[in-house]
Amino acid sequence: MDRNTTEFGLQIISLIVCIAASYLDGGLAAVFNVTGFGAIGDGIHDDTEAFSQAWEAACSNGGGSSSVIVPAGRTFLLSPVNFEGPCYSSNVHFQVLGKIVAPNETDAWKGCVSNSWLHFSDIPGLVLEGSGVIDGRGSPWWKNALHIHKCDGLQLRGLHHVNSPKSHISINKCNGVSISGLNILAPENSPNTDGIDVSESTHVLISDSIIQTGDDCVAINSGSSDIQMTNVSCGPGHGISVGSLGANGSYATVEQVNVTKCNFQGTQNGIRIKTWPGGSGYARNISFEDITLQDVENPIIIDQFYCKGEFKCEDKPSPSAVQVSHVTYQGVNGSSSSEKAIQLFCSESKGCTDIKMQQINITSAIPRAKTYAICKNAYGESSSTSPLVPCLTQLHDDVLGREASAVWV
């Protein structure tokens, strides 16, 4: 098949997709293909202006729904760009079927003020989807590859996100969010490459996604509540984290987080809550259920002495801390690559209260080695838990717990 025939076939596919996308919410939607605004899609010429024009046309369309199409079979080079609302359209679909790549040259980042590459803001009902790829190309010149701000009713699905230098996707001040079917990939040794960061957002569902990064697969930050995660595959990476919270003495809150049916393979951490000494606020009503572990270094960890960089918080006792309470672990099974399967490091000033562990069985990935739990200022109860957690009250005779070691510090 020659090149012209191939390109013609891809154009037909894109046209079919455009026609299908025209029928949204039971009605006819206006379709704005970026190539119709001058986008070349050769991966060399900068198509930012064409994308901006297509967005303006879709956003200003007052006839109902609008759809911006990034067609298949092409690679579009974009400099940092803001897609802003509010829009006249009842909702806007942004369909990525081709590939979007970031520039490598430092000159392309002059004047970038949002610390992000692709920035969507103030667009209620935004749908960002497709089978295409968003490739940050590991550039060191921005903070977040894809930043979404104040987009209530956001739907983000089906996309491939690769090679962000830091956070791949940042969700901030969004309510009623659905994220599904994503594939996020970065090298295991790439620093700060979180998969999905959520902050100051409510009613968020993250499901059916694969995340392989050099940092947290998902991080839930302050101001977030009613966060649901299900069927997320994490690894490599630093696991799923609540926090970090309370940095620099700040007041931070997270509540109503439910992580279920998620699996971790070869991660540094599994399910983690991390808070800085000296902070205040709370992390409460958090549950982890039906969790599968394989060769995870720190499967379960609560760390109220979290520090990074040059800070040495463990050497500086603090009278305050973010209160961690009402945390449930149920049905957590698998293997640990270290002996320390469960670590509950809580502050003397607040402690961690109402911790519940049920049906926990974490064995060593090392033949004939045992696992153990470490406790400090943590209070609650456990049943059928291995390794035994010494600071939690055993509800009944625990056969599993007898087989493992425990340390109470």
Catalytic positions, written as ranges? 238
Task: Give CA–CA dist 136/102, Å, rounded.
Answer: 5
| Residue 226 to residue 205: CA distance in whole angstroms | 9
Residue keyed to tokens 């009605």: 27
* Residues in contact with 12: Cβ distance below 8 Å, sequence separation at least 6, in sequence order: none
- Amino acid identity, position 235: G
Give the Cα separation of 197 and 177 in Å (integer): 13
DSSP at 60: H
Alpha helices in 299-382 (DSSP H): none
Residue 163 makes CB contacts below 8 A (sequence gap 6+) with 135, 136, 137, 138, 185, 186
Single-letter amino acid, residue 264? F
Q: Which of 311, 336, 328, 326 is nearest to 387 (CA)?
A: 336
Dihedral sign from CA coordinates of 265, 266, 272, 275: negative
Q: What token pair was written down for 240?
A: 């799923």
Q: Which residues are registered as beta bridge partners of 344?
A: 302, 375
**Residue corresponding to tokens 């463990």:** 314
Strand partners, 104: none
Alpha helices of 253-358 — where are they, by DSSP H? none
Question: Which of 158, 171, 173, 175 has its CA nearest to residue 218?
Answer: 171
Q: What are phi and psi of 191, to 5 degrees?
A: -75, 145
Q: Are 32 and 38 in contact (CB under 8 A)?
A: no
Among 196, 197, 194, 269, residue whose Cα is nearest residue 239: 269
Whole-number Å distance between alpha carbons of 167 and 67? 26
